[in-house]
Amino acid sequence: MRTIQANRDKEADLTRRLAAVEALEAQYGDDKVVAPPLGNLPAGDPASPDGTEIGADELGPLLQRSVVLAPAYAPLSAGFDGDPVQVGTSFGIVHESGAPSGGFDQVILRVSNSGAVNRNLTVRFGDDIASNELVAQVSPESGEQLVVFEWLLGPGSVMKAQAPAINELRVTGNVRRLSNGDLVDPGVTIHALSEGGDGHPILVDAYPTPTKIHEVPSDQIDELWLWAFSVGVAPGVLTLRWGANTSANGIPRYVNAGYGAELIMAGGLLTAGKVVYAVTDGARADYRIAGFVRRRSV
């Protein structure tokens, strides 16, 4: 009798687990989910948070771990072994995106200066054109300076770098290859800004024309990470119109020239249908905005 009941318990447990997997597949896609383990997890199993044995009745909370998250980071394509890439006096490729169609390479870029004086690093991200150049001043003996943090680079797009003196500036970086909508945390997917679908920086029109940066799709909550930089020679004020295209929703931010990209929105949340616009402080189109979206379904 005990054996029959034990078999029934195992069958009921298996049914619950399969139902949980099917629910995950419906939410994330069947290519993103692997079946959870059956029975007890022995001590030392990687799925056990603290390495101890976990009984079958305690495995329910671990089902979310069955979701296959996005790949780990890899080195830049020009630094395939992880070594620093020396920057020359002409523009050379630092990374070329190998992302699949509709996907992105999410890039982190750092720079160090082995020389004795300040040097400017000039980066062309996505578009190999002077009008989108990001310039960052790098001090000597200051370790690594963050230049680009998790920006998205579309398929076949390149990131190039140039410096005024050969081999004094050296860059390292990390790349995570994503398909559009890949999970990076349970329930969280990565997307490009709606107006920067290829991941390239968005050109902000000269005042008084507001430039649309992003609109949240229906039934979603978007967490926005935005950086701004100026391609001009003078600093100024860039204003985000957050949630609606009205001056009452304005968030002004002073943006330096020649100091690299500056974080202007760190994970701000917007709900379905909300928008973000940007407005400059004068009749010049010197500002660019780049970033990405972490998305959750409502």
Specify whether 222 is located in the same domain as 283: yes
Count of the separate structural domains present in the chain: 3
Q: Is the pLDDT of residue 183 over 90?
A: no
Residue 78 lies inside a defined structural domain of this protein: yes
Specify whether 61 is located in the same domain as 31: yes
Specify whether 17 is located in the same domain as 85: no
Average pLDDT, the chain: 81
Specify whether 122 is located in the same domain as 214: no
Residue 185 lies inside a defined structural domain of this protein: no
Residue 262 lies inside a defined structural domain of this protein: yes
Specify whether 198 is located in the same domain as 289: yes
User: Picking from 8-12, 148-152, 176-180, which range would have the lowest pLDDT averaged per residue?
Assistant: 8-12
Specify whether 140 is located in the same domain as 205: no
Q: Give residue-wise pLDDT tens across range 169-180.
A: 999 999 988 876
**CA dist list (Å): 103 to 79, 138, 190, 209:** 21, 31, 10, 31
Residue 184 lies inside a defined structural domain of this protein: no
User: For position 160, what pLDDT does the model report?
Assistant: 95
Task: Output the six-digit token pair for 79.
Answer: 């630094």
CATH of the domain at 162: 2.60.120
| Segments forming the whole domain that contains residue 44 | 2-66
Q: Which residues pair with 95 in a beta bridge?
A: 159
User: Picking from 23-32, 85-94, 182-191, which range would have the lowest pLDDT averaged per residue?
Assistant: 23-32
Residue 187 lies inside a defined structural domain of this protein: no
Domain closes at, from 152, 178, 204:
178
Specify whether 146 is located in the same domain as 203: no
What are phi and psi for residue 6, nearest 5 degrees?
A: -65, -40
Q: Is the pLDDT of residue 64 over 80?
A: no
**Reported confidence tier of residue 47, pLDDT bands at 50, 70, 90:** very low
Specify whether 289 is located in the same domain as 223: yes
Question: Which residues touch 39 (CB under 8 Å, ≥6 apart)?
Answer: 56
User: For position 100, what pLDDT does the model report?
Assistant: 83
Question: Which residues touch 17 (CB under 8 Å, ≥6 apart)?
Answer: 35, 36, 38, 59, 63
CA distance 79 to 95: 8
Specify whether 201 is located in the same domain as 166: no
CA distance 157 to 161: 14
**How many CB atoms lie under 10 A from the CB of residue 11?**
10
Specify whether 128 is located in the same domain as 47: no
Specify whether 142 is located in the same domain as 212: no
E strand or H helix at 23, and its extent?
helix 2-28
Q: Is the pLDDT of residue 121 over 70?
A: yes
Specify whether 166 is located in the same domain as 86: yes
Domain closes at, from 129, 145, 178:
178
Domain closes at, from 129, 148, 178:
178
Provide mean pLDDT across the span 20-37.
53
CA distance 26 to 3: 35
